[in-house]
Amino acid sequence: MLDFDLAQQRLVEDAPLITRTERVSLAQARGRVLAQTVVAGVDLPPGDNSAMDGYALRYIDYADARAMPIQQRCYAGDAPAPLIAGQATRVFTGSLVPAGADTVVMQEHAVERDGQVTFTEAPRNGQHVRLRGEDIRTGQVLLRAGTLIGPAHIALIASQGLASVEVFERLRVGILTTGDELVAPGEPRTAQQIYNSNAAMLAALVEGMGAQVAHLMHARDTETALRDAFASLIAGCDLVLSVGGVSVGDRDLVKPVLESLGGNLALWKVRMKPGKPMALARVGGKPVVCLPGNPGSVFAVFVVMVTPLIRRMQARDTVFPIVSNLPLRTARTLDESREVFLRVAYQLDTHGAGELIPYGSQGAGNIGTMIGASGLARLAAGVPIADRDLVAYYDLERWLA
C-alpha cells in the first residue's frame, strides 16, 4: 500500500491541464477559472469623491462659527464646478469632490440656512474624501490566471468596465459505476439489489467543483462491458472516475481491463481508511481514478484525493486547500495501521473554541452519517488518539469548492 501523502501527491503530479479557453459574460463567470491575467485599466475610484452626504470645502477655509456660502449642489453623477475659495459645495455619497476641495464635513455636523452653511464640529483635513486610485491603480494586476472566480472577483472585473472574461473550458468528467447488484433509482428493485447512490452523489460532487459531467454510465461486471464503457469515456472525457470493481475479488475486473487498454497504473491501494482499494491509471494520456464501491469510501476518497486532481487539471492557482488542526472529542483510543478519515461535525465548545465531534457510525457503507458532516478528521497511522488531541481537519466548504 502507498502512504496517503505520497498517493495524494502522485494523483496531481503530471496531471494534464486544461488549455481550452472560452470567453463568457460576467453573468456566467461565477465558478469558472480565469485563463488570463486581468490588469486594471481604470483607477478606482476614478476621481476624488465623497464618502458621506455633506459639504465639500477647503480645509484651510474652515473657522469656528464661520458661515460659508453654498456654491452649488452636486449629486452623484454630476460634474461639479471648481470650488471657489471660502465657499462650500453640497455633496452626497459618491459625488465627485470639486477641484480645490480637500475635505468633506458630514451633514450631521452642519446647519444650512439661507444658502449658507455653518459647522458644529471642526473637521480633520482630508476627512471623508475617497481619493482617486486609492483602491485600484491603472496598470495594477488585479487577478491572475488560475483564479477561481467568485462574486467579489466579478465585482472587481466589472469595475474595470469589462463585460466578459476569458476562462478555461469546464473539465469534462466521465463517471462509471459498476456492479450487477446496482439498479438505477426509479427502476424496480429485487431483493438482492440495491439502488445506485454513488452515481448521483459523484455527479453532484463533480458539478460542485465547477466541472462538467460529460458522460454517466453503468456497466455490468464483465470484461466486455467494462472495456466498452472505459473506452467510450476515455475517448470523450478529460478525466474518468470509476466506482467499484477495483479490489481483488473474482469480479473485480477494473484493474485488468485498464491494463488491457494500455493503462499504466500509477498507484494501487492506499494506506487510508476508508478508501484503501483505489487506483490511478493513465490511459491515452488521460487519468482514470478508480474508487472503492462503498458510498462512505467514495465520498472520503473524492474529498481528499480527487478534488486536488480536479483543481490541478482545471489550472487553478490553489490545488490543496487549507488543512487546519482542531481538537477531536472522542472517548476511544484509536491506533490504526492506516490513516483514518472520520466524518465529524464542527462545533464551538463552552469557551467559544472550535472542536470536532465524530459521528458514532463510521462504516464505509453508511450514507446517513454523511448528512450533517462538516468535514473529515484525519487520524495519523499508528498514533494513539485521546480525547481533545489535535487532528488534521479537512473542511468540506474548502475541499469541495
pLDDT for residue 162: 98
28 pLDDT band, cuts 50/70/90, is very high
CA–CA separation, 258 vs 281, rounded Å? 7
Q: What is the pLDDT of residue 25?
A: 98
pLDDT, tens digit, 9 for 90 and up, residues 201-240: 999 999 999 999 999 999 999 999 999 999 999 999 999 9
- For 75-192, list the strands marked E by DSSP: 88-91, 103-106, 110-113, 116-119, 129-130, 141-143, 164-168, 172-178, 182-183
- Whole-number Å distance between alpha carbons of 128 and 200: 54
- The CATH number given to 21-44+138-168 is 3.90.105.10
What integer pLDDT is reported at residue 250 of this predicted model? 60
Tell me the domain boundaries of the chain. Answer: 4-19+170-313, 21-44+138-168, 49-130, 324-399
Tell me the average pLDDT of the chain: 95
> For the chain, how are helix, strand and coil distributed in percent, rounded to 5?
20, 30, 45
- Supply 324's cell numbers: 487546519
Instruction: Decide if pLDDT at 248 tops 70.
Output: no
Q: Over pLDDT 70: what percentage of the chain?
A: 99
CATH of domain 4-19+170-313: 3.40.980.10
Kindly report the CATH class assigned to 49-130.
Answer: mainly beta
pLDDT at position 251 = 66
Mean pLDDT calculated for residue range 364-379: 91
Lowest mean pLDDT among 35-49, 121-135, 273-287: 273-287
Give the mean model confidence (pLDDT) for residues 284-290.
Answer: 95
pLDDT on residue 239: 98
CATH number of this structure's domain 324-399: 2.40.340.10
Whether 49-130 and 324-399 share one fold: the answer is no
Each residue's pLDDT tens digit, 108-165: 999 999 999 999 999 999 999 999 999 999 999 999 999 999 999 999 999 999 999 9
Please identify which residue in the block is written with the cell numbers 469595475: 159
Cβ neighbours of residue 35 under 8 Å, at least 6 residues apart? 21, 145, 166, 167, 168, 315
166 contacts 36 by C-beta, under 8 angstroms: yes
Residue-wise pLDDT for 50-76, tens only, equals 999 999 999 999 999 899 999 999 999
| Interval 343-361 mean pLDDT | 94
- What values do phi and psi take at 136, rounded to 5? -135, 135
pLDDT value of position 100: 97
The pLDDT value recorded for residue 264 is 84
